[in-house]
Amino acid sequence: MEQTSSKRLIWIDYMKVIGMYLIVAGHFFSIGNKYIYTFSVALFFCISGFLCKKEEDHRFFWKKLWYNLIIPMILICTISFAWKTQSEIRHNIFNCENLYMFPILLISGFHKVLGPMWFVYTLCILKIVFQFLPSKWLYTLAFFSPFITIATNECIYNTFEPTTSMGEYANAITNTTIAFPFFMLGNYNKKWKKQLNECTLSYRSCFFAIISLSILYGCGTYNDIVFMYLNGFGSNYILFFLGSITGTIFIYILSKWLSQLKSKHIYTLSTGSIAILGFHMIPITYIRSIFVISSWKDYIIAMTIMLLFIPIINFIEKYIPILIGKYRIR
């Protein structure tokens, strides 16, 4: 999800920050959560595909993947595991088996230890597939991925009870099939990078924003709730796909409008989005233990959490840059 500083697209930064805010707000499981889940994760796979390119030097590709995504993922998961472990010790519910199971489950891609970082694990797989498969195979695979997703759900995931026991077996490797079409769609749209960058706010773009938001609302209303981390697309894949695309279009138009407002804080939140993704559940867990009942106030609290991450990201960037993938690759 990275951009080079010299060629930054400000609207991409806004899309990432708005998307991350929706992820944080969505994890409060509050009012309107169903509509956020309709497209928020797919939005990030679209952005990641748009920013992805094949590297001519395979060694450079592996270094970039290792330092920008894999190391931050391992570090963040380890810190999160340590935080969870100390909490379990304090409450006398710690199981020593977790210590040796943690690296096994992490390498195997299980959400039980990855948490929100399942996205990064899945993204790593998508980047590897994108780097080494010929382009014609990539689009063929993207076309058949929805059918594989549906078949996977029917054959495997429906064996378990929804959201409870299923979560124990959720795996970032299987998530590649539900994520790949959005990744490739984002990459395909690089053809219109110049047009997307030069697009200005007009009556036509406002019209498209209203239409996109209306379709998103309809898809969110008539489809069941989407849990991409469980490979879940609701009850109807077409509504899921349409809702994801229209939601992404709406956020793009909104971000283009907001990109007129240049802010160093937006840049900070965008570059440190992997830290927000990895650690935002810590404050949410504490807040939910105090304010159990969901309300619209959750969206204000989510915004507050985003703002609190600004100094945290600045600290990380200065003293532990590897934690957010800031590493000069030679």
Name the more confident of 125 and 7. 125
- pLDDT digits over 149-195, tens only? 888 777 765 555 554 455 567 899 989 999 999 999 999 999 999 88
Over range 17-42, report the average pLDDT.
94
- Rounded distance between C-alpha atoms, residue 15 and residue 254, angstroms: 8
Maximum C-alpha span of the chain: 61
Question: In this structure, which amino acid lies at residue 11?
Answer: W
Q: Angle, to 10 degrees, between the axis of helix 281-290 and the axis of helix 297-319?
A: 140
Query: Which pLDDT band holds residue 31 (cuts at 50, 70, 90)?
Result: confident
Name the more confident of 45 and 286. 45
Query: Which of 1-10, 14-23, 189-198, 232-241 is predicted with the least confidence, judged by mean pLDDT?
Result: 1-10
Give the residue among 60, 93, 42 at the shortest CA–CA distance from 216: 42
As a 3-state breakdown, the chain gives helix, strand, coil percent values, each rounded to 5, of: 75, 0, 20
Cα angle 201, 207, 211; round to 5: 130
Query: Which pLDDT band holds residue 104 (cuts at 50, 70, 90)?
Result: very high
pLDDT attached to residue 239: 97
Among 86-95, 231-240, 243-252, the range of highest mean pLDDT: 243-252
- Rounded distance between C-alpha atoms, residue 142 and residue 183, angstroms: 9
- Mean pLDDT rounded to a whole number for the chain: 90
- Rounded distance between C-alpha atoms, residue 282 and residue 287, angstroms: 9
Please state whether the predicted TM-score (pTM) of the whole model is above 0.75. Answer: yes
- Rounded distance between C-alpha atoms, residue 154 and residue 232, angstroms: 11
Classify 68 as helix, strand or coil: helix
Beta bridge partners of 171: 110
Give the residue among 41, 43, 33 at the shortest CA–CA distance from 220: 33
- In this structure, are residues 60 and 329 in contact, taking their beta carbons and an 8 Å threshold? yes
Q: Determine how many CB atoms are found less than 10 A away from the CB of residue 7.
A: 6
- Rounded distance between C-alpha atoms, residue 6 and residue 300, angstroms: 33
pLDDT attached to residue 3: 66
- pLDDT digits over 217-232, tens only? 999 999 999 999 888 8
For residue 253, give every residue at least 6 positions away whose Cβ sits within 8 Å of its Cβ, in sequence order, or none: 201, 205, 206, 208, 209, 212
- Rounded distance between C-alpha atoms, residue 244 and residue 46, angstroms: 10
- Percent above pLDDT 70 for the chain: 93
Give the residue among 24, 228, 209 at the shortest CA–CA distance from 146: 228
| Torsion-angle region of 321 (φ positive above 0: left; ψ -120 to 50: alpha; else: beta) | alpha
- Rounded distance between C-alpha atoms, residue 200 and residue 273, angstroms: 26
